[in-house]
Amino acid sequence: MMRITAILLGLLLACTGAFAQSRTCATSNLFHHKHYYNKGKLQASKKQAVQFRVTNCEPEAYYNNVLSKKTEHFQIFYTQEGPHATQKAFVDSVAVNLERAYKHHVNELGMRKPVGSAKTFHYQEKVDDSLYPVEIIDLDLLRRGDSIFDGSICGKCYGLTLPQSEFNTDSTLLIIDNDFRYVNTTGKRKSMDDNPECTYIENSLPLTQQITGEDFSEHWDKAIRITTFHELYHASQLRYLNMFEHMTFWFEASATGVEEFGDPDVNDYFGYINKAFRKIGTPLNEINDESVYGLSTLYLYFYTNVDKKFDKEIWSGFNKNPEKTADIHFANYLSKKKLDADSVFHDYVVRLSFSGERSKAVNSKMLIYKDEKDWPTINYAKTSVFEPDTSRFSFAYYAGGQPNLANYKGEASAVIYSKGKATVIPVKTTNTADSVYGTMSLVDSTVWIFSRLGESDYVETLVKDKKLKAYPTPWREGSLCFSPLPRDKDYIEVRNRRGAIVMQERYQGTMHCIDEKKVREEMSPGVYWFRAGNSGKAEKFIIIY
């Protein structure tokens, strides 16, 4: 018999949806509390008082005939009577999308196969050998719900992933809400036809898409697609890591990212990205609230820009070294692929800066994912002189200002916005930073970007360097910039490969940028040379378009 205690059923951040249309559901809160309580970081607190009871009888009083539908990998249990009743078409959609999710997670991504419990939790039905159990019920009427949800109800929950015990998360089962409606605590109380003494509060409020407000109780097929992909991914994750013992933000961040491949048109995850933006500057390993769902952008970056099967390696790392944090597993994975971990993470951070309205300033190839143009726009706080303070596995953006990089270790870039175009300038030296700062008055705006994934003993990359550079090179679009320019000169000279002068550009400060239109008018694709003034060593750059 499946052992699930009241403490255990704080369970696993596995609610897809929750209060205020967000995924910090009651199970998530209890899971976090249990984790920190066991680690000695919280004092015992009094259990929340039961404010109301949805039901007044045993669970069996609210269903009679339990039906089941079998697919290649699943056995789905449901009823067509009472408050747990669902439509046959709903069950069929769950069946189809579970198999889609299984194929995606196991066959395409290489994740471990979910292992199911031998008996269902709510309906208490025996499960056929080799099939994974899924129950369709009204989640607000879940068996032992007052214990599971700490004296309340799940509320606004789409689905739940239950492990067999807090000691064995290898074996799980899924529960999916029967109609994507939830209980209003002041709602109408109904009686069972065959037992009038048994009453329950009708689930009258629909779950809705966070951004558009689309009613999922009407368009339940969409909610089923994201829920099955999300929850079944948890079932695979739990075969690698016991989340009761080792919490990680990556549990929910990756499962939310996977939703996009269940139904790329639902985009419910958009509603969490802005919450994640409010956490910018906080190390990712320390984020443990609903903001983690918004970190699904990191999953989408790796999936589209590194390797579709990357997450199997991340979870395999957790399985071998569960005490290690997510940044270590990302760094180890990238090292195996012979990629510099800090550079890859910084690339993600730079591309994330073009979220929302700023996506118009760059070529679509610079975006993390095709949806980025529709994500919220990051609100940068303006600053003056500052010291970038980025801890391990974190990043920060600064609007304007002058960075003091004397003690900074990590990756850095500046993005210059001018005439609707953005130019990314890698900041490898303090001279480059000074050059960017010197020309800020000549451009529309400047954003400084700092990130760090690795340990604090990483080698300092910001060093003195007086070599003249043109960037980006090869140039394809946006502004063409030159730095660090000497202060004792007042123009740069650009020549073609035959030595003929193409242009002379006057400058002030230590950096000069030529806008895209002028570059295209004056320079055809090819190799060019530039220098400050009419003497001295010339440096090469390339134009491609």
For residue 271, pLDDT over 70 is answered with: yes
User: What are 207-234's pLDDT values in tens digits?
Assistant: 999 899 999 999 999 999 999 999 999 9
How high is the pLDDT of residue 151? Answer: 60
How high is the pLDDT of residue 15? Answer: 47
Which 8-state DSSP code applies to residue 108? I
User: What are 472-488's pLDDT values in tens digits?
Assistant: 888 888 888 888 888 78
For residue 523, pLDDT over 80 is answered with: yes
For residue 11, pLDDT over 60 is answered with: no
How high is the pLDDT of residue 171? Answer: 95
Contact yes or no for 462/498 (Cβ under 8 A): no
For residue 459, pLDDT over 80 is answered with: no
For residues 290 and 24, what is the distance between their CA atoms, to the nearest angstrom? 5
**Residue for token pair 């003056």:** 384
Phi, psi dihedrals of residue 10, rounded to the nearest 5°: -65, -25
How high is the pLDDT of residue 220? Answer: 97
60 vs 535 pLDDT, higher one: 60
Query: Model pTM?
Result: 0.81
Q: Of 369, 481, 467, which is closest to residue 423 (Cα–Cα)? A: 481
User: What are 90-144's pLDDT values in tens digits?
Assistant: 999 999 999 999 999 999 999 999 999 999 999 999 999 999 999 999 999 999 8
Q: In order of start, what are the domains of the chain with their CATH numbers? A: 8-244 (no CATH), 269-465 (no CATH), 469-543 (2.60.40.3080)
Mean pLDDT of the 394-414 span: 88
Cis (ω within 30 of 0) for the bond into 376?
Answer: no
Burial of residue 255 (CB within 10 Å: 0-12, 13-18, 19+) is buried
Contact yes or no for 376/274 (Cβ under 8 A): yes
Band (455; pLDDT cuts 50, 70, 90): low
How high is the pLDDT of residue 156? Answer: 83
Report the DSSP pairing between strands 402-403 and 411-418: unpaired
Mean pLDDT of the chain, nearest integer: 86
For residues 305 and 315, what is the distance between their CA atoms, to the nearest angstrom? 19
How high is the pLDDT of residue 481? Answer: 85
Q: How many CA atoms lie within 13 A of 394 on its CB side?
A: 19
Q: Which of 16-20, 275-279, 283-287, 499-503 is the least confident region?
A: 16-20
User: What are 141-154's pLDDT values in tens digits?
Assistant: 999 887 776 666 77
Contact yes or no for 3/165 (Cβ under 8 A): yes
At 510, which amino acid appears?
T
**End-to-end C-alpha distance for the chain, whole angstroms:** 67
Band (39; pLDDT cuts 50, 70, 90): very low
Band (14; pLDDT cuts 50, 70, 90): very low
Contact yes or no for 127/133 (Cβ under 8 A): yes
How high is the pLDDT of residue 150? Answer: 64
Extract the tokens encoding 437: 């700062």
For residue 30, pLDDT over 80 is answered with: no
Angle, vertex CA 215, rays to CA 17 and CA 250, nearest 5:
25
342 vs 165 pLDDT, higher one: 342
Cis (ω within 30 of 0) for the bond into 426?
Answer: no
For residues 282 and 369, what is the distance between their CA atoms, to the nearest angstrom? 23
Q: Of 138, 164, 140, 167, which is closest to residue 154 (Cα–Cα)? A: 140
Band (255; pLDDT cuts 50, 70, 90): very high
For residue 65, pLDDT over 50 is answered with: yes
Band (52; pLDDT cuts 50, 70, 90): low
